[in-house]
Chain A
Amino acid sequence: MQPFTTHTGIVAPLDRANVDTDQIIPKQFLKRIERTGFGQFLFFDWRFLPDGTLDPAFELNAPTAAGGSILLARRNFGCGSSREHAPWALADYGFRAVIAPTFADIFFNNCLQNGMLPIRLSEEDVAELFRRTTAANAAGESYQLHVDLRECTVRDDAGFARSFTVDPFRRQCLLEGLDDIGLSLRHVDQIAAWEAGHGLPPVAGSR
């Protein structure tokens, strides 16, 4: 997994609540059997017009969101289907972090498995970030944030600074880019002991 320590990037605002994973990556693109190449289909039905050209009215297509790597959204981001294709598509498009007041549980976990940082800030803080982004964008400029997972902070260059929380174990895995399965297999003896204690036959050569 790609480690996440610090990241500075352009904020792409998506001023909507309850953005579901069907919107993030529509079902017709779930048939690939690889983990890569999903970025081209990100927010497909919103990004593209029926003739296949970019919809200029969609927030992510604004010039000020070009090269955006921090997605800003309203509450309950990533609800619905468990498809990990959603964080794969976000990552492949270039996002490294998503900021929202709340996230759906499965999407949140899926991000953490892919070196993508989901950041929960209060509804007020998210509203403030939308104001700052909108103001910068209205002036024809992009809005930038600095994310530091070592310190668990989000700040801009104009005095916005907030801390966020993330599970300590997940934080460590992200900082070091640790492989979850490798970590868990360190406890294979305890897994085998649990199985034996519950009457399951031993597994041969499970290491």
Chain B
Amino acid sequence: MPPRTLLDKIWDNHVVCTPPGELPLLYIDRHLVHEVTSPQAFEGLRLAGRKVRRPEATFATPDHNVPTTDRRLPIADPVSKQQIDTLRANCHQFGVRLFDLGDADQGIVHVIGPELGITQPGMTIVCGDSHTATHGALGALAFGIGTSEVEHVLATQTLRQAKPKSLEVRVDGRLPAGVTAKDIVLFLIGRLSTEGGSGHVIEYTGECIRSLGMEERMTICNMSIEAGARAGMIAPDAITFDYLRGRDFAPRDFERAVAAWERLSSDPGAAYDRVEVFQAADVVPQVTWGTNPAQVVGIDATVPAPDSFSDPNDRSSAARALDYMGLVGGTPITSIPLDRVFIGSCTNSRIEDLRAAARVVQGYRVAPTVSAMVVPGSGRVKRQAEEEGLDQVFRTAGFDWREAGCSMCLGMNPDILTPGQRCASTSNRNFEGRQGKGGRTHLVSPAMAAAAAVSGHFVDIRSWNYKESR
């Protein structure tokens, strides 16, 4: 057999059949479900009299709509409540395991999947959510699908898919001090563009990627979609296996599973359809200035002027973006003042993210002009943070400490920006109106967001004065 990539191996192992004249049917090992993209799919099953083929491979949780304030209070928005109630009723009717609002393990679907060990190397994983790529950090092929495809997977446990192309994104060298996984992925998106990965599955390789911990890898894979890629993945290794060992849904015969997982890595000499190589040393802390994640620069840079772009599409996009963002070319990034800070989302709401932010905040107070909040990614992350006293660090500094959910990443719940408000956010999208109509989003790492909350404007985290009293 010729040398194969990680993608080839997972793909080959999951093709059920390729009927003549049709697209391949790909078997799906795990199906994650949330309240926003599933109601029409369950309704479709009901109308056709169909069942969920593998309820035991299907896991659901409400995350997009949920309030992050006191969970004992009723949900104020009746339409949000209806969607969450509908998920509950659907899971009950079709026998799907639900981590409901009151469940200790409820959380953002892309946080709880890995955390509970539902996500495993070599699996195919889908969810009606574009950030499903997160799970690729554990060496799975994981991608977002639409609601019609959700219904297809529920009914057949398969998906009609043409095989995507493979793109190796190699990051050589060691990560410079003060630079995080979020900075790497924002930097890569800036270089690849918002559609550079279109039609491809990215496999991240290289010394820099291999040196990252599991949660940092999730941050990288999570944002693959912002480069237009179908999915992102990282070959599983000892870091992956150590992360999974002992988790609730991890395989019982763990060592046997590890033996199989060890064979998943791309073979030496395996050919990718495309290869892009970057140097970790070129990455500095990143801040987006525009209305798509590729509109990004280093903290030491200035907001670019539209004229600085040679491509006419890029030029007009930049002009529109600056107008929306209320910025002018030439403004130093460090002089941009902020109204809000949001630390959370499936990109950056895990315990390592909260630790990094808390370390910055320790001994400081949030600037009087800034309103800041921390939204843990799951009930487990929240409890862990509270055991470590991180909640006290944040509260003492003046942050709001909330319950788990997607929250202000997309503002489907009451956590939104008001028109014109400017926010440093650890989330994944700075689209117009994403965090609230008229809201202005700058994407950054948790440490950069924390430093901005304290300073009232962006600062270079590499020169932060840490007060280590813990």
Interface residues of A (CB under 8 A from B): 16-18, 20, 22-23, 26-28, 30-35, 45, 74-76, 79-84, 87, 102, 104-106, 109-110, 113-114, 167-170, 172, 180-181, 183-188, 190-191, 194-195, 198, 200, 203, 205-206
Q: Which of B16, B27, B37, B437 contacts A82 (CB under 8 A)?
A: B37
* Cβ contacts under 8 Å, B22 to chain A: 169, 183
Shortest C-beta distance, A168 to chain B (Å), equals 7
* Cβ contacts under 8 Å, A27 to chain B: 410-412, 434
Contact A75 B156 (CB under 8 A): no
Shortest C-beta distance, A46 to chain B (Å), equals 8
B130 interface residue, CB < 8 Å from A?
A: yes
Shortest C-beta distance, A44 to chain B (Å), equals 9
Supply 4 further A-B pairs (C-beta < 8 A) apart from A76-B194, A181-B155: A27-B410, A45-B432, A80-B130, A181-B48
Q: Which 4 interchain pairs have the tightest Cβ spacing?
A: A113-B148, A84-B146, A33-B39, A110-B146
Stretch at the interface among B49-57, B449-457, B462-470: B49-57
B198 interface residue, CB < 8 Å from A?
A: yes
Known A18-B317, A79-B195, A181-B152; judge A31-B82 contact (CB<8 A): yes
Contact A185 B16 (CB under 8 A): no
B23 interface residue, CB < 8 Å from A?
A: yes
Contact A79 B16 (CB under 8 A): no
Name B5-30 residues within 8 Å CB distance of A: 16-17, 19, 21-23, 25, 27
A150 to B65, CA, bound (A): 43
* Cβ contacts under 8 Å, B82 to chain A: 31, 33
Contact B149 A113 (CB under 8 A): yes
Shortest C-beta distance, A58 to chain B (Å), equals 13
A186 to B158, CA, bound (A): 12
A28 to B81, CA, bound (A): 13
Q: Which of B48, B50, B147, B411 contacts A84 (CB under 8 A)?
A: B147
A110 to B198, CA, bound (A): 15
A110 to B86, CA, bound (A): 23
B129 interface residue, CB < 8 Å from A?
A: yes
A20 to B54, CA, bound (A): 33
* Cβ contacts under 8 Å, A23 to chain B: 431-433
* Cβ contacts under 8 Å, B252 to chain A: none
* Cβ contacts under 8 Å, A34 to chain B: 40, 43
Shortest C-beta distance, B197 to chain A (Å), equals 9
Shortest C-beta distance, B330 to chain A (Å), equals 23
* Cβ contacts under 8 Å, B199 to chain A: 105
* Cβ contacts under 8 Å, A104 to chain B: 195, 198, 228
Q: Which of B39, B65, B157, B431 contacts A22 (CB under 8 A)?
A: B431
Contact B156 A17 (CB under 8 A): no
B328 interface residue, CB < 8 Å from A?
A: no
A106 to B126, CA, bound (A): 12
Name B147-183 residues within 8 Å CB distance of A: 147-149, 151-152, 155-158, 160, 162, 164
Contact A75 B160 (CB under 8 A): no
* Cβ contacts under 8 Å, A180 to chain B: 148, 152, 160
Known A33-B82, A104-B198; judge A80-B152 contact (CB<8 A): no
Q: Which of A22, A106, A168, A186 contacts B21 (CB under 8 A)?
A: A168
Contact A105 B43 (CB under 8 A): no
A4 to B169, CA, bound (A): 39
Contact A106 B146 (CB under 8 A): yes
User: How does the 8 Å CB contact mask read for B419-432 relative to A, with 1 for contact and 0 for none?
Assistant: 00000000001011
Q: Which of A35, A82, A114, A191 contacts B157 (CB under 8 A)?
A: A191
B80 interface residue, CB < 8 Å from A?
A: yes
Contact B129 A82 (CB under 8 A): yes
B378 interface residue, CB < 8 Å from A?
A: no
B405 interface residue, CB < 8 Å from A?
A: no
Known A75-B313, A82-B128, A106-B145; judge A31-B25 contact (CB<8 A): no
B134 interface residue, CB < 8 Å from A?
A: no
Shortest C-beta distance, A32 to chain B (Å), equals 8
Contact B25 A17 (CB under 8 A): no
B292 interface residue, CB < 8 Å from A?
A: yes
